[in-house]
């Protein structure tokens, strides 16, 4: 009940701040599920990719990628049936760019929330102070009514900062997970290209 009272005391800006917090949590859950499904068994790929590539076993390499199901294997699939080293490299780069864009999806919303939330809190501060000065302009107003506007200002500011901090932590954590997946793709790409170059 106390939280509900604080929410109402914070003014109208508390509603968009609540929406921002819900969006942040929703993005966290969705991205974690996506990144979990995108992970590859790197130990197995490091061992099997060079061997299969050296034996020119394209069907075996394709089966390995299909079994793994991660983004590193997805990228590798784009180059398996290319004939030249140059075409393989181009296919890997194109697939890596498309996958990286997919991994970065929705993270820009978190960046927006990190910037927007303190501004909404500041807006709540301004509207709360306006309410306080409006009380002062009334000649027979209640002497303690000004504290309501000050309370609104402080609650809105604190909430805006809290939402921004939470969104910033979520963003940093998801970026770290995304970078790990991209690093895995780069590593497997190098392993494959080095093995493919030996065949030429």
Q: Give first-to-last CA distance, the chain, whole Å.
A: 72
DSSP-assigned letter for residue 46: H
Q: Are the beta carbons of 110 and 24 closer than 8 angstroms?
A: yes
pLDDT tens per residue, range 5-18: 777 777 889 999 99
Among the listed ranges 11-20, 56-65, 96-105, 122-131, which one has the minimum average pLDDT value?
122-131
Q: What are the angstrom distances between the C-alpha of 149 and each of 12, 47, 130, 175?
A: 13, 66, 7, 39
Tokens 């609104």 found at: 152
Confidence of residue 186 (pLDDT cuts 50, 70, 90): very high
Confidence of residue 196 (pLDDT cuts 50, 70, 90): confident
Domain borders along the chain are 2-199
3-state secondary structure of 10: coil
pLDDT tens per residue, range 51-80: 998 888 899 999 999 999 999 999 999 999
pTM across the whole model: 0.85
Confidence of residue 156 (pLDDT cuts 50, 70, 90): confident
Res. 93: pLDDT tops 80: yes
State residue 81's pLDDT score. 87
């Amino acid at each position: 009940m106390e939280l509900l009272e604080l929410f109402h005391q914070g003014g109208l800006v508390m509603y968009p701040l609540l929406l921002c917090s819900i969006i942040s949590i929703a993005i966290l859950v969705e991205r974690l599920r996506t990144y979990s499904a995108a992970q590859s068994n790197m130990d197995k790929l490091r061992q099997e990719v060079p061997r299969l590539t050296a034996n020119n076993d394209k069907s075996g390499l394709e089966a390995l990628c299909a079994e793994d199901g991660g983004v590193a294997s997805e990228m590798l699939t784009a180059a398996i049936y290319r004939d030249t080293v140059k075409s393989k490299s181009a296919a890997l780069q194109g697939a890596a760019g498309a996958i990286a864009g997919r991994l970065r999806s929705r993270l820009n919303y978190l960046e927006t929330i990190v910037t927007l939330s303190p501004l909404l809190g500041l807006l709540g501060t301004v509207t709360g102070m306006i309410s306080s000065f409006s009380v002062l302009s009334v000649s027979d107003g209640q002497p303690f009514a000004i504290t309501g506007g000050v309370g609104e200002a402080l609650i809105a500011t604190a909430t805006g900062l809290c939402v921004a901090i939470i969104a910033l932590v979520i963003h940093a954590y998801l970026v770290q997970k995304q970078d790990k997946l991209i690093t895995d793709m780069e590593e497997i790409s190098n392993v494959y290209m080095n093995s493919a170059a030996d065949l030429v």
